[in-house]
Structure 1
């Protein structure tokens, strides 16, 4: 940290956009200065350490706003740090998106392109606020003991989507070791490759599982699932809107069950424009619209038939421990989020 009496804390991920984010961080700092915003900068750290860095910086300073610059995973860590800070109510959170999917930014009309950076800085200067729900998630063992507790703000996923994510991360690590290849095979290409690999693998080893749910006291069982998505904000996968009536501040998350491979095959071919999918289209993709519902408290218990693929899990685009049970609670209107002002 270098500035004196900074009002904003910029938390930036230098590795986003396959390493191109370093130059954009310098550009963002310059644009913030030009906008009259005094800021300090903290680089993200591996292994989840960013959460603690953000919490400590906020507790020790007098920042009025913390800015997440990176992808959905960076936003999750910055928001979790703020959520656990003693200055949660005194500090807003803002976004300078640079990620590949950018679900969080897209949900509030913020693009992740280089051309959008200047506009996004002006949004921060405008300081228009909304409230953002947060999700507390606990991975439980078979006896119900907590294995890990964390927070998410965009989505949690169990099954195919999380398996694709894990395959993408494996591919990224492999590509990073091959000189020159990482500049050709990156971002959306890596994700598309991982999707195809996971889809083909599901023809060899079944990915089906069963989920027993208790949502706000109501019990139900979902069978023959290939994926189960818990959605907090509107946009999923950079493009899909499962429920156009959902809100980021209503104290409820959506449960989106999916069966079959057609939905993920369609996702590969999906246009990148934000699309509110009608019920008939979702049904055609194997997503049962009659089973999409909302909750404030949710308990999940999974069953994976012998011989089927192991269950995978993710939160906000980051791998999460797959466990026999999961408990999720929505924390209503937990954070003050800076968003574009209504036109």
Structure 2
């Protein structure tokens, strides 16, 4: 059994290359502030050295750790969540996030501040909630799993970010315009909803879609509110898919409306809520999980309720 967040050690896992290297500066600032507030005896900073390193660091945390802080973007959060989920439920420290990434969708869902000093202050308020975690083919996701157009945009954005060092919503929109006008594809999929909420209408066996998103929280792609009613603690995944036929201009207009969650009235946008589902695609689509690539055509997806305790911010 891990100690309480108020009494246990606090470990900061930082990605020093997040946000084009600004993660190192943010990590140094966060470490200084945390040491000042809780003392050297209760604080330790670990830095990731390769892709996936955050997972092993979180999995191997000592039994005296009460809180682990992921400082970076959604990719690092995904690694830390997978590391925590590899531990027994009673041995999972509280998870906190200091957002220093490009999308920061999970931090947005938690209401965390984007200023490092404010985020540290919010973490040390120790206000927590229980949170669900998504699972796909045995791997876990904190916020989002998506296929098709959105995944193509997310993966292209990541590639552009690595090449240019740029970040932010404008980079996502730049990639979105390119995908919508030059690479817009339709994917045939079958969705078998196994644990639908009461009153959920059955879905046809096969359908065509531009994108399918399976969400724990409401946002993806840098705060686009694709499933605005999604909650972290309801034991359900929110599913959204967009169906043809849309021109590139109309698809772009819908995407821009999704920034504020105002796309939900379109006849081309569909929603379901379920605790588990199976997705099959005729051909492998672009796919991403918390910003990281996913491969395959057959996906077993479910919600793990109350899987983690997470720190929430004042927003």
TM-score under structure 2 normalisation?
A: 0.85
Alpha-carbon separation, structure 1, partners of 2:274 and 2:128: 25
Q: CA deviation at 1:99?
A: 1.5
Q: Please report the RMSD computed on the Cα atoms of aligned residues, expressed in angstroms.
A: 2.6
Give the 3-state SS of the residue equivalent to 1:33 in structure 2: helix
Alpha-carbon separation, structure 2, partners of 1:34 and 1:250: 37
Q: CA deviation at 1:166?
A: 2.3
Q: Give the corresponding residue for 2:231.
A: 247
Q: Equivalent residues in 2 for 1:1-343 (5 A)?
A: 7-36=9-38, 38-56=42-60, 58=61, 60-86=62-88, 88-89=90-91, 91-112=93-114, 116-138=115-137, 149-175=138-164, 182=165, 185-202=166-183, 207-216=185-194, 220-221=204-205, 223-259=207-243, 260=246, 261-262=248-249, 265-266=252-253, 275-277=260-262, 279-280=264-265, 283=266, 287-288=268-269, 291-304=270-283, 311-321=285-295, 323-340=296-313
Structure 2 unaligned spans of 5+? 1-6, 196-201
> Does the 8 Å CA contact 2:102/2:167 hold for their aligned counterparts?
no
Alpha-carbon separation, structure 2, partners of 1:200 and 1:246: 29
Q: CA deviation at 1:167?
A: 1.9
Q: CA deviation at 1:42?
A: 1.2
Q: CA deviation at 1:173?
A: 4.1
Q: CA deviation at 1:67?
A: 0.3
Alpha-carbon separation, structure 1, partners of 2:298 and 2:258: 35
Q: CA deviation at 1:87?
A: 6.6
**Per the alignment, do residues 262 and 108 of structure 1 end up closer, same or farther by CA in structure 2, a change over 3 Å counting?**
farther
List per-residue Cα deviations over 1:151-208 (Å, max 9, x = no partner).
Answer: 1010000001111122223334444xxxxxx4xx444454333223222322xxx510
Alpha-carbon separation, structure 1, partners of 2:232 and 2:135: 15
Structure 1 unaligned spans of 5+? 139-148, 176-181, 305-309
Alpha-carbon separation, structure 1, partners of 2:107 and 2:117: 15
> Does the 8 Å CA contact 1:210/1:221 hold for their aligned counterparts?
no
List per-residue Cα deviations over 1:214-254 (Å, max 9, x = no partner).
Answer: 11265533523110001111233333334444310111011
**Per the alignment, do residues 269 and 251 of structure 1 end up closer, same or farther by CA in structure 2, a change over 3 Å counting?**
closer
Q: CA deviation at 1:61?
A: 4.2
**Per the alignment, do residues 108 and 262 of structure 1 end up closer, same or farther by CA in structure 2, a change over 3 Å counting?**
farther
Give the 3-state SS of the residue equivalent to 1:292 in structure 2: strand
Q: CA deviation at 1:88?
A: 4.8
Give the 3-state SS of the residue equivalent to 1:66 in structure 2: strand
> Does the 8 Å CA contact 2:147/2:211 hold for their aligned counterparts?
yes
The answer to which of 229-238 and 64-73 deviates more is 229-238
Q: Give the corresponding residue for 1:145.
A: none
Alpha-carbon separation, structure 1, partners of 2:35 and 2:215: 36
> Does the 8 Å CA contact 2:143/2:215 hold for their aligned counterparts?
yes
